[in-house]
Structure 1
Amino acid sequence: MTSTTPSPQTAATGVPRAGGAGLLAGRTVSRIGYGAMQLERLHGERSTAVAILRRAVELGIDHIDTAQFYGNGFVNGLIREAIGPEDGIVIASKVGADPNPGGRIPLRPAQQPQELRASVEDNLKSLSLDRIPLVNLRRLDAGPGLRAEGDQVVDIDDQLAVMVAMREEGKIGAIGLSSVTLEGLRRAIPASVACVQNAYSLVTRSDEDMLQLCMAEDIAWVPYFPLGSAFPGLPKVTDEPAVQDAARSLGATPSQVGLAWLLHHAPNVLLIPGTANAGHLEANVAAGTVVLDGATLASLDAVPTRSGDIALG
């Protein structure tokens, strides 16, 4: 519970919502949130990591994306330490993979219903929560990352059954989907999906039909890799001449232009850019103030979308 009742444009702490107001899991939140994955890099700098989370709250961010498999519980522990009920933060975690310390890839698929339940329990424990406001089911059907093989190829209906059961038990508040196909989303909609997290940016728009379906169904669209990716074979938004030209004319950075384009593109878009740097965090929040006029939007919309897919396992 929060100690204040914020207005739609103000977070629980009284700060203007970063990027304005949006809806996530039945809650009014800032359209710019924070993806905590990169805090894994601060294993030896815990106080710095906690300070970044506190700075996010100060800047009007009120939804944070995490997972037990980020640093094998390390990131969840930081959130437990840094964030209190009075901050009014919507915590979104995810299941579908488990930590794989020492492996070639530090993750392994965990798609079986019993594994999803165990992952939720692990998240509850490491976050020290009785209920996680939003849990994303990470499918392994689409986008960069792991692929399911053998007994890890699980029908989405079987997964949704256990997710719905945990929602009814009060362990999770809402269900989201990540790395899902359009067909998978259509099958999941009757289970009341709160958000979709897929790889999507100005230069990777192959999921445009899915975004439009989400908008029609009042489902939040929360893209990961919102600026493209550093993975070889995946394009970067900041390399685009049209983005660089817009940044120069607006006195912004190319990254801010790429984030601003997403906010302008559809009203159900919420952002969770990640960083382990306080200055970058502040710049990401400032992207919510970047205004793109019609001519600039037209030039950005004309940037071609390109495919790129990296399977990590």
Structure 2
Amino acid sequence: MSDASRAFDDSFLLGGELPVRRLGFGTAQLTGPGYWGPRGTRQDAVAVLRQAVECGVTLIDTADNYGPELAEELVAEALHPYRDGPVIATKGGVVRTSDSAWHIAGRPEQLRAMCEASLRRLRTERIDLYQLHRLDPDVPLAEQLGTLDALRQEGKIRFIGLDTLTAGQLQEALSLTGIASVQNRFNLLDRSSDAVLRLCETHGLAFLPWFPLANGALTGESAAALSGIAERHGATRGQIALAWLLHRSPVLCPTPGTGSPVHLAENLGAAAIRLSTEDMSRLEALAPA
């Protein structure tokens, strides 16, 4: 067995105490273009969410502005009551007014109102992981995190996460309060957040890479180098790209999303792939964007 295979672990302790399987499920693709409105029928979306959990997924990643509101409603319809699982992660701090209009909203009263609304839509008294979807440049970070910390002390959220930030911003956040996760873009073709990933490894934070399949680009001509490895493993190129993330770092917890039962099964199959040291070397050599 290769060194890469021996080092593989498909579980992670979120916040150092809450176990999740590292390959989760994201809900953005259950909504329409621009994450606006529905993509398919409500019945189909609910079925895919239930299939994910039945197949062993324990981390569901959503956001209040997917839909808007729709994705959280679907999660509750499909999975409530949550009992001992799955772990639900959602996000607040961005207001949507159209499929292309995103407005950062990080004032304390806005964050509190968004969290309260997510609690109602998810039909829960406490959100496992509440992530600040974007840092508001017009509000001191201490005020934004102070609001989330107050919500945590009130028992309304369990862990705090951050989305799309620099290594310097993460260091500042860690000096202010406890952080359990980071969600930045990271995939085979975009490793610009490598410094953030290293900080997550140092501090034991989960790193939830968004666009783990480069929004489809990894299955196009730019990923032709994946073909040989995929063929040897009897896998798709997308599966190899997800397997690379799982082997790349023990804190990487990708949450690819889909509305297709077939594609869901394909994505989850990536967790069974064991890449060799040679495989990893070849994939690391691919030029990122």
Q: TM-score, with normalisation over the residues of structure 2? A: 0.89
1:69-80 correspondence to structure 2 within 5 Å:
69-80=65-76
1:81-96 correspondence to structure 2 within 5 Å:
81-83=77-79, 84-86=81-83, 88-96=85-93
Displacement of 1:40 after TM fit? 1.4
Question: How far, CA to CA, are the matches of 2:104 and 2:174 in structure 1?
Answer: 23
Contact 2:218 2:241 in 1 (8 A): no
Displacement of 1:117 after TM fit? 1.0
1:148-167 correspondence to structure 2 within 5 Å:
153-167=138-152
Question: How far, CA to CA, are the matches of 2:238 and 2:269 in structure 1?
Answer: 11
Question: How far, CA to CA, are the matches of 2:255 and 2:110 in structure 1?
Answer: 26
Contact 1:69 1:107 in 2 (8 A): no
Quick check: 1:99 aligned with 2:82? Answer: no
SS of equivalent to 2:279: helix
Aligned twin of 1:254: 237
Displacement of 1:110 after TM fit? 1.4
Deviations 1:239-260 (A, max 9, x none): 3232122112221101000000
Higher percent of residues as helix: 2
Question: How far, CA to CA, are the matches of 1:107 and 1:23 in structure 2?
Answer: 32
Letter in 1 for 2:170: L
Quick check: 1:58 aligned with 2:54? Answer: yes
Letter in 2 for 1:50: V
Letter in 2 for 1:119: M
Larger CA deviation: 39-48 vs 163-172: 39-48
Displacement of 1:106 after TM fit? 4.6
Aligned twin of 1:293: 276
Q: TM-score, with normalisation over the residues of structure 1? A: 0.82
Quick check: 1:280 aligned with 2:276? Answer: no
SS of equivalent to 2:157: coil
Q: Check 1:290–1:211 CA distance in 2 against 1; reply closer, same or farther (3 A cut).
A: same
Aligned twin of 1:209: 195
Aligned length: 272
SS of equivalent to 1:162: helix
Aligned twin of 2:125: 130
SS of equivalent to 2:269: helix
Contact 2:46 2:75 in 1 (8 A): yes
RMSD: 1.7
Aligned twin of 1:194: 180
Contact 2:89 2:128 in 1 (8 A): yes
Deviations 1:280-310 (A, max 9, x none): 111111000111111111100111121xxxx
SS of equivalent to 2:213: coil
Question: How far, CA to CA, are the matches of 1:104 and 1:164 in structure 2?
Answer: 31
1:42-53 correspondence to structure 2 within 5 Å:
42=38, 45-53=41-49
Question: How far, CA to CA, are the matches of 1:34 and 1:219 in structure 2?
Answer: 18
Quick check: 1:174 aligned with 2:159? Answer: yes
Question: How far, CA to CA, are the matches of 1:43 and 1:276 in structure 2?
Answer: 8
Displacement of 1:171 after TM fit? 0.9
Displacement of 1:33 after TM fit? 0.6
Question: How far, CA to CA, are the matches of 2:14 and 2:254 in structure 1?
Answer: 11
Q: Check 1:43–1:258 CA distance in 2 against 1; reply closer, same or farther (3 A cut).
A: closer
Question: How far, CA to CA, are the matches of 1:205 and 1:67 in structure 2?
Answer: 24
Contact 1:237 1:258 in 2 (8 A): no
**Residue ranges of structure 2 left out of the alignment (5+ in a row):** 1-8, 33-37
Q: Check 1:274–1:43 CA distance in 2 against 1; reply closer, same or farther (3 A cut).
A: closer
Displacement of 1:114 after TM fit? 1.5
Contact 2:29 2:39 in 1 (8 A): no
